Chains A and B, each alone.
Chain A
Amino acid sequence: MSILVTPQTRVLVQGITGSFGARHTQLSLAYRTQVVAGVTPGKGGQLFDNKVPIFDTVAEAKKQTGATASAIFVPPAFAADAILEGVDAGLELVVCITEGIPVNDMVKVKRAMEGKATRLIGPNCPGIVTPGAGKSSNGGCRIGISPGYIHRQGHVGVVSRSGTLTYEAVWQLTCRGVGQSTCVGIGGDPVNGTSHLDVIKMFAADPETHGIIMIGEIGGATEEEAADWIRQNCKKPVAGFIAGATAPPGRRMGHAGAIVSGGKGTAAAKIAAFKAAGIGVAPTPSEMAETLLKMM
């Protein structure tokens, strides 16, 4: 029915009492996500919104509530630490929303996570949604900041580096009566926990995902890596869009990872890799759903 999270996934929120974390915890609760705990050091023992118990540490929260996944809404200076605390506590999944983490902090995090079972999504990502069966897809699992109502339960997997472009694709699908299995934002940073390929492999193995939309942008080579695997291994239809064809070289386009460096990481190269892999290329972001549906 989905990958990574289900409507039953028990979620804790690191940074639940910050204004950003609080607002999105409320939205996730309204979506009927199983938010079972919050973590803010020093506020252990308090209740969030009269509903959710707050703990001083992730380990304690996990022990008391059985949470297996975390949403991190912690400021950039402390986010790497929050990620590693989640890993150390043995969580299955850590989703880091925070934008602006120093690159070398993430270099250290990734090194420290080698050999650990925890999966990290992000940072600098909108999070994950597995839509539910209720009204406006309520009843699903929403970790992060995506607007819940745009989703619909169904069989298309969406994976993307960009938050708002994900919402575009999801909304296009929903408006056409086509639902999503799971939507995964892997984030816009150059060093992150999960790549396009990691997610596509999961979609390829998920019996409830029948088609995939992959959204990429300039910088790095993860789209090419995914395209190469898809060409050789993926039987399911894949459509994609690459943002940044008009971006000037050498400039960081908002996302820390969205930069064409030394001639590498261009939109043209990624689009060429998509075409070589038989991935349907949407010429504009308005045609992402259309492009996939023609292939299904």
Chain B
Amino acid sequence: MNLHEYHAKQLLAQYGVAIPPGEVCQTAADAKRIAEKLFADGAKIVAVKSQIHAGGRGKGTFKSGFKGGVKICKTADEVHEMAKAMLGQVLVTKQTGPEGRRVTKLLITMAPNIQKELYLAVLLDRATSRPVVMASTEGGVDIEEVAAKTPEKILKESIDPAVGMMPYQARKIAAGLALDGDLIGQGAKLLLGVYKTWWECDASLLEINPLCVILTTDAKRALLAVDAKLSLDDNALFRHPDLQAMRDLAEEAPLETEASKFNLNYIKLDGNIACLVNGAGLAMATMDIIQHFGGQPANFLDVGGGASQEQVAAAFKIILQDPGVKGILVNIFGGIMDCNVIATGIVAAVKETGLKLPLVVRLEGNNVEAGKKSLTQSGLTIISGDSMADAAKKVVQAVAPA
């Protein structure tokens, strides 16, 4: 689950990480009020930042034509103008796809006097099965490019889960980032706080880009986390009800949200052949084989091993809500899954939805004979596939333009 920048910063602040002062708002009037307070407290410049779950906001463009999802302002009136131009509008960035995201929240924050931009992230290192803290002097840019062109500029510190991140490791990174004097101590505190946030929130990724060396209003150097991106491990959400409450449904595809209510794993794609499969690996392979035979999958959908008839029917109805769908492939290899549960679920769903689109079903495994019988006895027009390849070819053919 992804969090907005403002939520990520709230959490970081709780763990003692220095962030620029700021507040989230949903109206231009509130934006102005927050800005007035920031200016009164000594800010010279205030940033207006669109809150969406995607990067590239600064360089993005709104569908209204307004350029830039992050704006720097010198007065509260300017903040008000920018907020009015952004709120309710759809922002398109390199990462949102052409459909963009509607902006309903803005983070109004003090924009500091930035001297240097650094990079910091905490994530799982799959090679060692341990957390790793990654840092670089090359902040404010795409870290993947840095990794590709100048990998020596990326510092990595592996964390032993038996002891957590140690202060010496934080100092080592701080020194590696060319921080000196009192910035070593500040840096170490910030790094330890960032790691603690990652660990205690059960995050999968926490990225601070940029982490900035700034000059405060009284000309002292300080470190601030100027942007924050936090993704949480979905498997751990059950033990973080406070973080679950930070879920933003507006950032999810509606069908994916609907599917999650039934504990179905559904991801919407762009094609016209819908899939309903048991097992994630088989579901991925089903998408692959559709494409192999010249079709385009409309979705990934894993109904899981223990799916009930209701879940199967719900899954069916969800995939049909995608207007792009022109045909359906059901591919089931029943291990835990009972083929007859799938079959009766499909029959129920087809009758309820009055399905007219081509439906290809391939069943194999546990209780397959009963499942096939339920399909033939339903009286419905269902094309049967003998193998995965056979079923995929048939569905691609069925949706191909005549």
Q: List 30 A-B contacts (CB under 8 A).
A: A101-B235, A102-B202, A105-B236, A106-B129, A107-B130, A111-B160, A112-B162, A160-B281, A162-B279, A162-B280, A163-B305, A164-B277, A164-B282, A165-B281, A167-B335, A167-B365, A217-B280, A220-B126, A243-B284, A246-B284, A253-B267, A254-B280, A254-B283, A256-B234, A256-B235, A284-B288, A284-B388, A285-B282, A286-B289, A286-B389
B141 within 8 A of A: no
Residues of A bordering B, CB below 8 Å: 20, 24, 76-77, 100-108, 110-112, 126, 145-147, 150, 160-165, 167-168, 171, 188, 190-191, 215, 217-221, 241, 243-248, 251-258, 262-263, 267, 283-287
Rounded to whole Å, the gap between the CB of B241 and the closest CB of chain A is 13
CA distance A160 to B333 in the complex (A): 15
The interface bits of chain B over 113-156 (1 if a CB of A lies within 8 angstroms of the residue's CB, else 0) are 00000000000101101110000000000011001000000000
Please indicate the chain A residues that have their CB under 8 angstroms from the CB of B282 in the complex. Answer: 162, 164-165, 168, 243, 285
Please indicate the chain A residues that have their CB under 8 angstroms from the CB of B309 in the complex. Answer: none
CB proximity to A under 8 Å, residues B264-310: 265, 267, 269, 277-285, 287-292, 297, 300, 302, 305-306
Please indicate the chain A residues that have their CB under 8 angstroms from the CB of B130 in the complex. Answer: 107, 111
Partner among A112, A145, A190, A215 whose Cβ is within 8 Å of the Cβ of B335:
A145
Q: Are B306 and A20 in contact (CB under 8 A)?
A: yes
B334 within 8 A of A: yes
CA distance A241 to B289 in the complex (A): 12
CA distance A190 to B128 in the complex (A): 11
Residue of B nearest to A192 (CB): B129
Q: Are B285 and A165 in contact (CB under 8 A)?
A: yes
The interface bits of chain B over 358-380 (1 if a CB of A lies within 8 angstroms of the residue's CB, else 0) are 00000011100000000000000
Residue of A nearest to B297 (CB): A246
With A100-B235, A103-B235, A147-B365 in contact, is A255–B280 under 8 Å at CB? yes
B387 within 8 A of A: yes
Which of B265, B283, B305 has the most chain A CB within a 10 Å cutoff?
B283
Q: Are A103 and B288 in contact (CB under 8 A)?
A: no
CA distance A157 to B306 in the complex (A): 27
Q: Are B365 and A243 in contact (CB under 8 A)?
A: no
Please indicate the chain B residues that have their CB under 8 angstroms from the CB of A256 in the complex. Answer: 233-235
With A147-B335, A171-B364, A286-B387 in contact, is A110–B278 under 8 Å at CB? no
B239 within 8 A of A: yes
Q: Are A104 and B202 in contact (CB under 8 A)?
A: yes
Please indicate the chain A residues that have their CB under 8 angstroms from the CB of B280 in the complex. Answer: 162, 188, 217, 253-255, 258
Q: Which 3 interchain pairs have the tightest Cβ spacing?
A: A162-B281, A254-B280, A164-B279
Q: Are B233 and A254 in contact (CB under 8 A)?
A: no
Please indicate the chain A residues that have their CB under 8 angstroms from the CB of B289 in the complex. Answer: 284-286
Q: Are A246 and B336 in contact (CB under 8 A)?
A: no
Please indicate the chain B residues that have their CB under 8 angstroms from the CB of A284 in the complex. Answer: 285, 288-289, 292, 388-389, 392
Q: Are B235 and A163 in contact (CB under 8 A)?
A: no
CA distance A161 to B388 in the complex (A): 19
CA distance A256 to B233 in the complex (A): 9
The interface bits of chain B over 328-352 (1 if a CB of A lies within 8 angstroms of the residue's CB, else 0) are 0000011110000000000000000
CA distance A283 to B292 in the complex (A): 8
Q: Are A107 and B283 in contact (CB under 8 A)?
A: no
B161 within 8 A of A: yes
Partner among A111, A146, A253 whose Cβ is within 8 Å of the Cβ of B283:
A253
Rounded to whole Å, the gap between the CB of B255 and the closest CB of chain A is 14
Rounded to whole Å, the gap between the CB of A15 and the closest CB of chain B is 14
Q: Are A254 and B389 in contact (CB under 8 A)?
A: no
Rounded to whole Å, the gap between the CB of B287 and the closest CB of chain A is 5
B39 within 8 A of A: no
Residue of B nearest to A283 (CB): B292
CB proximity to A under 8 Å, residues B188-214: 199, 202, 204
Please indicate the chain B residues that have their CB under 8 angstroms from the CB of A147 in the complex. Answer: 334-335, 365-366
Which of A100, A103, A162, A257 has the most chain B CB within a 10 Å cutoff?
A103
Please indicate the chain A residues that have their CB under 8 angstroms from the CB of B288 in the complex. Answer: 243-246, 267, 284-285
Q: Are A107 and B284 in contact (CB under 8 A)?
A: no
CA distance A262 to B124 in the complex (A): 13
CA distance A262 to B300 in the complex (A): 21
Given contacts A103-B202, A247-B287, A284-B389, 20 further A-B contacts (CB under 8 A): A102-B236, A104-B199, A104-B236, A107-B129, A108-B161, A162-B281, A163-B279, A165-B282, A167-B335, A168-B282, A168-B333, A188-B280, A217-B280, A246-B288, A248-B267, A253-B283, A258-B281, A284-B292, A285-B288, A286-B387
Please indicate the chain A residues that have their CB under 8 angstroms from the CB of B131 in the complex. Answer: 107
With A164-B278, A191-B124 in contact, is A104–B388 under 8 Å at CB? no
Partner among A104, A110, A247 whose Cβ is within 8 Å of the Cβ of B284:
A247
Q: Are B126 and A221 in contact (CB under 8 A)?
A: yes
Q: Are A252 and B366 in contact (CB under 8 A)?
A: no
